[in-house]
Amino acid sequence: MSRLNRGIGSLLMDYAVPLIFIVISAAAIPLSGFSAAYLVQELLIRVGRNSFLILSLLIPIMAGMGLNFGMVLGAMAGQIGLIFVSDWSIVGIPGIVLAMIVGTPFAVVLGVLCGEVLNRARGQEMVTSYILGFFINGVYQLLVLYFMGWLIPISNPALVLSRGYGIRNAISLTGIRMVLDRLVPLKIGTISVPVATYLVIAAFCFFIVWFRRTKLGQDMRAIGQDMPVADSAGIPVNRTRVIAIVISTVLACYGQIIFLQNMGTLNTYNSHDQAGMFSIAALLIGGASVSRAGIGNVFLGVTLFHLMFIVAPMAGKNLMGQAQIGEYFRVFVSYGIIAIALVLHAWKRFRDRMEARRSLRGPAERREGA
């Protein structure tokens, strides 16, 4: 009896977060007064824009390294690629591909750095990668704000601050704006579908499915579940963990480029900041946990997350006469959801340990209960 209750209880616990979001969205959609076509169009754009970034989080989770707050490192690498491509005025798909090619070595180096640091901070991966993000942000600012236009030649004056060096706050990415989204034009009724973006995302999903079936993927799963056992079986634990972070960082770099080609402007000093936080929040909303996440969680999460953000400001305005309430809600929810996920994770681990130990107790407990 208690076993069944526990089963239902833990099932509810596992899906509590998505359920809450579904309920809130269901209430907010009619309040917002948006049409179905508008909602679908908005969702298609935003899901296409964000999914790649969120998918890049999956592999470190598989390797037991938790939520990779260090993905902002990849985002910065992507932005560096975009700045160069803008400077060289290379437009269209070649511009995007070149930005990726330029960003990749930065992402690999940052990924190796991050992986090596995390190997020295086992069990504290999340907070370490989070703080590492701040640190590398400083290096990024040094590079972009002081070195570019001074040590690193930037020829396009539109990119450079009026003082002669440093990149401007906002860069318009007109040359590559939505080129991927509009590569394969498709309109269903009034709704336009960014086919090519979704094809890239689908390819990424296939990559993940394939990767899980490889020996490397199997090793990562083993390390994620029990590092000492994996180590004693001869799996190169440290190297594998670095590989996981490098893959994640490189993919986050590509994800950020796809994200920014849709947005059309690069906020040089802010864009990457939010990439990590919002991607992680979206993944958690999809029912993922610190130790378990799948492709399904990514799409459920990104859909619910954006649905909420589309309808919440309008619902807030209609309900209370203020649109800011929705914006407030967005930030509040992102941080709140991450906090809840971390607490839930700790609590669940504690509960599992208690459960495991309960089975060791002998007849005395039963006698006591009777």
Please count the residues of this chain forming the interface with another protein, following the rule CB under 8 A. 28
Of residues 332 and 347, the one with the C-beta less far from another protein? 347
Q: With binding defined as CB under 8 A, does residue 332 bind another protein?
A: no
Distance separating alpha carbons of residues 110 and 264, to the nearest angstrom: 25
Q: What angle do CA 60, 66, 71 make, to 5 degrees?
A: 60
Q: With binding defined as CB under 8 A, does residue 228 bind another protein?
A: yes
Is 58 in contact with 298 (CB distance < 8 Å)?
Answer: yes
Q: With binding defined as CB under 8 A, does residue 215 bind another protein?
A: yes
In whole angstroms, the minimum distance from the beta carbon of 359 to another protein comes to 9
Q: Tell me how far CA of residue 367 lies from CA of 358, 361, 363, in angstroms.
A: 14, 11, 6
Q: With binding defined as CB under 8 A, does residue 4 bind another protein?
A: no
Residue partners of 335: CB distance under 8 A and separation at least 6: 277, 281
Judged by CB under 8 A, the residue of 122, 168, 177, 221 near another protein is: 221
Coil/strand/helix, residue 363: helix
Q: With binding defined as CB under 8 A, does residue 108 bind another protein?
A: no
Q: With binding defined as CB under 8 A, does residue 360 bind another protein?
A: yes
Of residues 117 and 244, the one with the C-beta less far from another protein? 244
Distance separating alpha carbons of residues 286 and 19, to the nearest angstrom: 9
Distance separating alpha carbons of residues 162 and 168, to the nearest angstrom: 8
Q: What is the DSSP letter of 112?
A: H
Q: With binding defined as CB under 8 A, does residue 350 bind another protein?
A: no
Q: With binding defined as CB under 8 A, does residue 348 bind another protein?
A: no
Q: With binding defined as CB under 8 A, does residue 11 bind another protein?
A: no
Of residues 163 and 367, the one with the C-beta less far from another protein? 367
Of residues 3 and 367, the one with the C-beta less far from another protein? 367
Judged by CB under 8 A, the residue of 134, 150, 206, 210 near another protein is: 210
Judged by CB under 8 A, the residue of 190, 232, 270, 322 near another protein is: 232
Distance separating alpha carbons of residues 2 and 10, to the nearest angstrom: 12
Q: With binding defined as CB under 8 A, does residue 213 bind another protein?
A: yes
Q: Is the dihedral of CA 303, 304, 305, 309 positive or negative?
A: positive
Of residues 150 and 210, the one with the C-beta less far from another protein? 210
Coil/strand/helix, residue 178: coil
- Binding map of another protein across residues 165-204, x = CB under 8 A, - = no contact: ----------------------------------------
Is 302 in contact with 47 (CB distance < 8 Å)?
Answer: yes
- The one-letter amino acid at 213: R
Q: Which two tokens stand for residue 183?
A: 């590569």
Judged by CB under 8 A, the residue of 222, 251, 258, 288 near another protein is: 222
Q: Which residues bind another protein (CB under 8 A)?
A: 210, 213-216, 218-219, 221-222, 225-226, 228-230, 232-235, 357-358, 360-365, 367-368
